[in-house]
Amino acid sequence: MEHKGYTLDDTVDLSGRPVLSSTTGKRKACIFILAYQAFERFAYFGVSANLVIYMTSELHKDLVSAVTSVNNWSGTAWITPIVGAYIADSHLGRFWTITFALLIYAMGMGLLVLTTSLKCFRPTCTDGICKEASTVRLTLYYLSIYTIAIGSGVLKPNMSTFGADQFDDFRPKEKVLKVSYFNWWSFNTAFGTLAATLFVVYIQERFGWGLGYGISAIGFLVASVTFFMGVPIYRHKSRKGKSHAKEFFSVPVVAFRNRKLQLPSSPSELHECEMQHYIDRGRRQIYHTPRFRFLDKAAIKQEKTDASNPPCTVTQVERNKLVLGMLGIWLLIIIPSNFWAVEVTAFVKQGTTMERNLGPNFQIPAASLWSFVVVTILICVPIYECYFVPFMRRRTGLHRGIKMLHRIAIGVAIQIMAAAVMFAVEIRRMKVIREKHITGAKEVVPMSIFWLLPQHVLLGLANTFLMAGLLEFFYDQSPEEMKVLGTAFYTSTIAVGKYSNSLLVFMIDKFSRKMSGKSWIGNNLNDCHLDYYYALLFVISAFNFAVFLWVQRGYIYKKENTTEVNEFEIVRAEKTESQVGKA
């Protein structure tokens, strides 16, 4: 009786039947998911990259209103992953949540193309003076882009997690392949982003917004078709039992109820089920850890146990500890995530003050320099995957090459180096301004925009370590039943980066105006102190990095019971035979 060909992590096909390891999942399934990611990012950034220009030039909104609208929209796109995580983990599962989100996304894309293409929605202009867009047009336009934001947000945590589900952690070879998956996920994300910012943006400004958004819609259609082409070979996590969110919140309630009880001297005396219990339910047992000891009281055994209020298991308690541990790391990523906002705001504004001519007839758009961040990622990810990881794997014996938090720490350290370069370049720019007696906001500083290139390249290198590292960390360390919520931790860091950077700029503006009567970050960057802003960012980043190093030294990684593979495989084979026989 040979059933070793079935997956060992209780994954099933779309109909709920056990799947063979040889014919499903792994790289052949992820090809469709990774291709989807490249085309979807092409579509998304085809909408978002030039959004502020569309609002000012086509909707005729003032700049402050347009910037606020774009920030609110972008924040929505990166906060809604939390909603998508809850829906998938507690109700629909990953695949059906993805399908539902793709339908929402498609409606938003279709509505956007209509509102930007049909002449009846365009504002009327007289003698070069255009009226502000009508209420109907504004309503339809905002409805379309916010529908896209919601669809995209729900997709973000589910699609990346669904791709990781294609690898069986109980098989060592597939566990190693999962590390590569996260690196190539970042690579395809960068590739789609670069294509949109170089190609779609040009089409929009040169040939029309309707055509540009139409190309984005085609990119989304190709992404959707590509994803569904892989349905026959996808693996799905089976859904059994009650809501995981309800189980999660029960632990602190029981711990509080048992707050006056004494913890046993040994963790082995705490309540825990046999391994067979988890095998039957397709779940994984998590070993006890000494952190957040107050939650252990939820697993205290009592002589008189109320059947309606049984003690929690050690595994249930450890799930809560994992989320609390991830929350601590998430809080320490708020400062580093500010750099993702600075790349497309301060850098662009700074670049507009510098010499950008390449020959007599071509001027480099300031925003185009951001593409060097993406290009750096595209170059560095294959180098990291093909050379750095194997080299470190031989030295450390770790299948990832280095620990996940060490990878994140390297990315944050490179960000601090970039902040120092940002400060030095701005000091140089201010020196040239003083020497040339430049005061006007529109005066060009005789200093090439390529002085900004090193900081863009450094941040691209930092993102090579940081972005894929964060995605892998939050996925890996989240409880098995809450993987999508773990991935939502990653996506929310980007939203928090935008909001926290806005708050930081607001506080700097208020403080500097109060102290000197002039803002460090004003409309006229030739008469401001952007160098103070970069210096402050360097200082708080360095302090935050020191705290991060201290926290990561004491971080205890999740340790699941995946070592007894042979015993698990026998039991899994018997269960699979029974299920196949019934089918």
Q: What percent of the chain shows pLDDT beyond 70?
A: 86
In the chain, ranges of CATH 1.20.1250.20 domains = 1-241, 325-562
Closest CA to 418 of 372, 384, 354, 473: 372
Task: Tell me if 305 sits within 8 A of 311, measured CB to CB.
Answer: yes
Q: For residue 575, name the pLDDT band (cuts at 50, 70, 90).
A: low
Task: Tell me if 216 sits within 8 A of 46, measured CB to CB.
Answer: yes
**Cα(188)–Cα(383) distance, integer angstroms:** 15
What pLDDT is attached to residue 3? 47
pLDDT in tens, 70-108: 777 877 887 788 888 888 877 788 899 999 999 999 999
- Model pTM score: 0.76
**Cα(66)–Cα(60) distance, integer angstroms:** 9
What pLDDT is attached to residue 65? 63
What pLDDT is attached to residue 243? 54
What pLDDT is attached to residue 264? 86
DSSP string of 501-535, one letter each residue: HHHHHHHHHHHHHHHHSS-SS-S-GGGS-HHHHHH
What pLDDT is attached to residue 133? 61
**Cα(356)–Cα(448) distance, integer angstroms:** 6
**Residue bearing the bigger pLDDT, 554 or 4:** 554
Helix axes 453-477, 172-195, angle to 10 degrees: 140
Confidence check: pLDDT of 247 > 80: no
What pLDDT is attached to residue 279? 66
**Cα(175)–Cα(159) distance, integer angstroms:** 18
Three-class DSSP labels, 417-435: HHHHHHHHHHHHHHHHHHH
Token pair recorded at residue 469 = 């590292």
Residue for token pair 């030739």: 526
Most confident of 25-39, 194-208, 343-357: 25-39
What class is the 325-562 domain?
mainly alpha
Contacts of 9 (CB under 8 A, 6+ apart): 168, 169, 170, 282
What pLDDT is attached to residue 2? 40
Closest CA to 538 of 451, 450, 403, 427: 427
The matching CATH number, chosen from 3.30.1490.190, 1.20.1250.20, 2.40.110.10, 3.90.700.10, for 1-241 is 1.20.1250.20
What pLDDT is attached to residue 4? 57
Helix axes 404-436, 530-553, angle to 10 degrees: 170
Confidence check: pLDDT of 305 > 70: no
Q: Within 13 Å of residue 124, how many CA atoms lie on the same side as its CB?
A: 2
Confidence check: pLDDT of 327 > 80: yes
**Cα(452)–Cα(422) distance, integer angstroms:** 8
What pLDDT is attached to residue 560? 66
C-alpha distance from residue 337 to each of 303, 437, 500 (Å) = 50, 36, 9
Q: Which residues of 232-253 are buried (b: 16+ CB within 10 A; e: fewer)?
A: ebbbbbebeeeebeebbeebbe
Sign of CA dihedral 375, 474, 393, 27: negative
Q: Is 231 helix (H, G, I), strand (E, B) or coil?
A: helix
Contacts of 257 (CB under 8 A, 6+ apart): 309
Question: Any idea what the Cα angle at residue 481 is, between residues 477 and 483, rounded to 5°?
Answer: 45
Most confident of 341-350, 541-550, 556-565: 541-550
What pLDDT is attached to residue 570? 46
What pLDDT is attached to residue 119? 65
Confidence check: pLDDT of 412 > 90: yes
pLDDT in tens, 424-468: 999 999 999 888 888 887 788 888 888 999 999 999 999 989 988
Q: For residue 274, name the pLDDT band (cuts at 50, 70, 90).
A: confident
Task: Tell me if 478 sits within 8 A of 485, measured CB to CB.
Answer: yes
What pLDDT is attached to residue 537? 93
Q: Is 525 left (phi over 0), alpha (psi -120 to 50) or beta?
A: alpha
Confidence check: pLDDT of 538 > 90: yes
Q: What's the mean per-residue pLDDT of the chain?
A: 81
The alpha-carbon radius of gyration of the chain (Å, integer) is: 26
Token pair recorded at residue 307 = 């059947």
List phi, psi (to 5°) of 6: -80, 155
